[in-house]
Chain A
Amino acid sequence: MEGALREPGGLFADVDKTVAVIRVTLASRFAYLGEMLVRTIFLLLILFTFAQLWRATQASQNVSLLTGFTIAQLIWYLAFTEAIMMSAPAFTELEVDREVRTGDIAYRLARPLSYPLYHLGLSLGDRLLRFVLNLTVGCAVAAVLVGSISLSPASVVAGLLAALVAFLVDWAWTFAISLLAFWLEDTTGIHLLYRRCVMLLGGMLLPLEAYPSWLERVARALPFQYIMYQPGRLFVAPEATNLAPVLLGQGFLLAGGIAVMLAIYRLVQSRLSAQGG
């Protein structure tokens, strides 16, 4: 066998490979469609519970708006943020953790595909399908429970775009946490803490306006809002907030997450190449 050696392409080739991983992950996850649909039952329960809760609160306070939102907006907000949360691919977190712990990461490195980009492809492929499914079911349930809200195409696009960037931000930070398994053996605890922070301080159940003022100040000072609250708010109340500052905040957070992740990844790589895992 003769001839020149095959040369790896540049950035465009890397993007193409990542897209190919997303595509094949999507195809593979269709095998779990039944399991994903069963999980949406939880969405139905939580939306029903909160619809009852807000109605009771509204009746007791005798107001039409709760913290500036109608009940319908609050339920649609919850449907959107729950769709983001429930699409979080626990599979990817565990997979990176396992590969780092067992040394299988070494075998992935023997292919001409960046390890972080491979996992980004896995994560996005998994997450996009779950998100679309959860959002569809969530919106349908919200429409039945509280009726429709005025969703403009601009608000839908803004919310979806912010959610997509939120997925990237979330991936960068969770991937960085998973890489810590190289030193900590098991990162499940840190992942749990991170997820709880995203849920509670990110404003998954309620918009931050509904928090006590001191907690709202804390939550607004923390980055978790860019994964939950900001995309959710864009989706239900586009007139109250602009897309640009949200994307700017997310951009900073994404850049920070990627910088931290790459720093840890380089440490893992150098340790791996010296010690073999």
Chain B
Amino acid sequence: MPAAVQITDLCKSFTRRVHQTGAAGKFRALFRPRQETVHAVRGLNLEMQVGESLALVGPNGAGKSTTIKILTGILHPTSGDARVLGLVPWRQRTRLAMNIATVFGQRSQLWFHLPAGETFDLLARIYEIPSAEYRARRREMIRRFELEPLIGTAVRKLSLGERMRCEIAASLLHRPRILFLDEPTIGLDVVAKQEIRSFIRTLNRDEEVTVLLTSHDAGDIEHLCKRVIIINHGVSVFDDRVSTLKRRYLDRKVISLRLLEETADRPDLSALRDWPGVTILTARNFGIKLEIDTEVRTMAEVMARLGEWPLADITIEDPPMEEIISAIYKSAQSASRTASGGEAT
């Protein structure tokens, strides 16, 4: 089966005018404008199989949006190649648009003063869905996304979570092969986020819709995607399974202990403070929170020592996904700072 998305050595550079300060600078800019080249994407390689769910993650300005715009045919690359469903996006944009869907968390395609059903009808015409097929698909989307009580209500009267459910359902009416999601859960509360993630997961599984997600929300990445690519300054700095990402960068564990006696009564607490690889984060009343550097101290050693304590409860947690991604960004940024100089031309 051919890849759903294939990117080879993709590069995209922009030139932009540098604003010069002061009256003399502005006058000079009239005749000799200074320009700089911004390398948004530099040699990106990526392959996505049909039905795969992948997160494209990176800090602002990393090149995520540029990559998505190239893949949807809006931008031409400076060099390199890209194929989406076997099509060259920037040459066959309309044909591609008939077979993909884009959902932008901060941009709505629903008509604000009309019920979502009206937008569904419009999209059916735009995507040229035959009437019988549309009616069946609409019923299916309403059932799947539980839209029955919402479909006749003006969009302006819906909550953000309800609106986003309508938004995603609307995007899927034409049975797209690939779903591009850009911050689909931005601004949603916890319950609404979980609902949206659950719907997308089910679709990805049941209809084999390929999902390419860009998000700053680590929860989206963890719950929606099996694979993650982290890009920074247009370069891929990590490309592997989400579980590998967590395992590789999880050199810290947080242990929360609940004791049967006051922590102040423990004579071995100060000894624990001097134990390399273990940091006491908090110690109050009956509770202690420890951070373990697993490269210095194995969990077996820690558990053996804590086993002597009168424990009422113990919880072991991984650091949040945000911290892992942030650590990768920072290491990539410091590496690129030492590697590259100025780029102004």
Contacts and interface: CB of A to CB of B under 8 A. Distances in A.
Interface of A: 1, 5-9, 13, 16-17, 20-21, 24, 27-28, 31, 104, 106-107, 109-113, 272-276
B111 A28 contact: yes
A16 B177 contact: no
B84 to A, nearest CB: 11
A107 B107 contact: yes
Interface string B83-118: 001010010011101111010100100011110001
Contact of A20 (B122, B177, B208): B122
Contacts, number: 92
B98 A8 contact: yes
B95 A106 contact: no
B207 interface: yes
B249 interface: no
B197 interface: no
Interface of B: 14-15, 50-51, 66, 69, 72-76, 85, 87, 90, 93-95, 97-100, 102, 104, 107, 111-114, 118-119, 121-122, 125-128, 154, 174-175, 177, 207-209
Given A5-B95, A107-B104, A112-B126, 16 more contacts: A1-B207, A5-B85, A6-B98, A9-B128, A13-B128, A16-B125, A27-B114, A106-B75, A107-B102, A110-B73, A112-B94, A272-B74, A273-B74, A274-B75, A274-B76, A275-B14
A6 B99 contact: yes
B177 A1 contact: yes
Nearest to A274: B76
Contact of A8 (B76, B95, B112): B95
Contacts of A276: 14, 66, 69, 74-75
B111 to A, nearest CB: 5
Contacts of B114: 24, 27-28, 31
Nearest to B127: A112
Contacts of B69: 106, 276
Specify which of B104, B125, B174, B208 lies most central, judged by the most chain A CB atoms within 10 Å of its CB. B125
27 contacts: A1-B51, A1-B177, A1-B209, A5-B85, A5-B87, A5-B177, A6-B98, A6-B99, A8-B97, A13-B128, A17-B126, A20-B121, A20-B122, A20-B125, A21-B122, A27-B118, A28-B114, A106-B74, A107-B74, A107-B104, A109-B93, A110-B102, A111-B97, A111-B126, A112-B98, A273-B90, A275-B15
B130 to A, nearest CB: 11
Given A6-B127, A110-B74, A104 B107 contact: yes
B94 to A, nearest CB: 5
Nearest to A1: B208
Nearest to B154: A31
A5 B98 contact: yes
Contacts of A106: 69, 74-75
A98 B102 CA distance: 21
B90 A24 contact: no
A112 B97 contact: yes
Contacts of A275: 14-15
A6 B129 CA distance: 9
Contacts of A16: 125
A276 B68 CA distance: 12
Contact of B174 (A6, A7, A28, A110): A6
A82 B107 CA distance: 36
Specify which of A28, A104, A112 lies most central, judged by the most chain B CB atoms within 10 Å of its CB. A112
Specify which of A6, A13, A24 lies most central, judged by the most chain B CB atoms within 10 Å of its CB. A6
Nearest to B68: A110
A21 B109 CA distance: 13
Contacts of A9: 128
Nearest to B104: A107
Contacts of B128: 6, 8-9, 13, 112
A104 to B, nearest CB: 7
A6 B99 CA distance: 6
Nearest to B89: A110
A29 to B, nearest CB: 8
